[in-house]
Amino acid sequence: MFIVCWSPKGGSGTSVVASALALTLASSGRETLLVDTVGDLGLVLGLPPGDGDGLSDWLLAPSDVSADALSLLEVPAGERLQLLGAGNATEAAINPERTVLAAELLSRSARWVVVDAGSTGAPEPWLVQGACSVMVLRACYLGIQAALARRLAPGTSIVVVEEPGRALRLADVTAVFNGHRVVSVPWDPAVSRAVDSGLLAHRMPRSLNRLNEVLNG
């Protein structure tokens, strides 16, 4: 299965959601690859900072560089979990067609693949045939408006991070995105503490267990 996590607005928690999905898959005995397009996932998983080549370097490589070179860029991130880091190349210089090629290659993997496509609001190059689109959103007016400005792919799942004090509720988001599956994850300070301390991969907060609904749908 090929899962693409993205958000129309920054600060929504896309990297944490992608990491939690990958960790859940790996802990259930499934070989999993986590793909980083932003550069945050190593830190989220508590891995030492890396400065080696990664996805972006492959995307900018000459066309005769083999597809197998992608797998050579992976690093271990836990039991049954590999990480394909973001790399060092400048994102602005990357050809979207090359990204589509990477997505097609990765989507054919026998493993489960989870992509953190970031918050550019432009995940289309990653949404190849058969991809499972997961949009991460906070229940805020600006985030919802940014999402409405896009045409969501059919079958897109929406993960809503519910924060205390917001005027908008889960029911409001569900009504706006009628026809899409909406999964609620409560805002939890334990998640921030786990990420800040590098312990998310070792002690994932129970509040993130709700993401199982994305995998079981």
> Quick one: pLDDT at residue 132?
96
What are 124-160's pLDDT values in tens digits?
899 999 999 999 999 999 999 999 998 888 899 999 9
- Burial (CB count within 10 angstroms: exposed 0-12, middle 13-18, buried 19+), residue 1: middle
What is the pTM for the complete model shown? 0.94
Domain range summary for the chain, segments of one domain joined by +: 2-216
CATH number of this structure's domain 2-216, picked from the four choices 3.40.50.300, 3.40.50.2000, 3.40.50.720, 1.20.120.420: 3.40.50.300
Q: Kindly indicate the confidence band of residue 183, based on its pLDDT and cuts at 50, 70 and 90.
A: very high
In this structure, are residues 88 and 57 in contact, taking their beta carbons and an 8 Å threshold? yes
Q: Kindly indicate the confidence band of residue 93, based on its pLDDT and cuts at 50, 70 and 90.
A: low
Residues 6+ apart with CB under 8 A from 174: 182
- Burial (CB count within 10 angstroms: exposed 0-12, middle 13-18, buried 19+), residue 180: middle
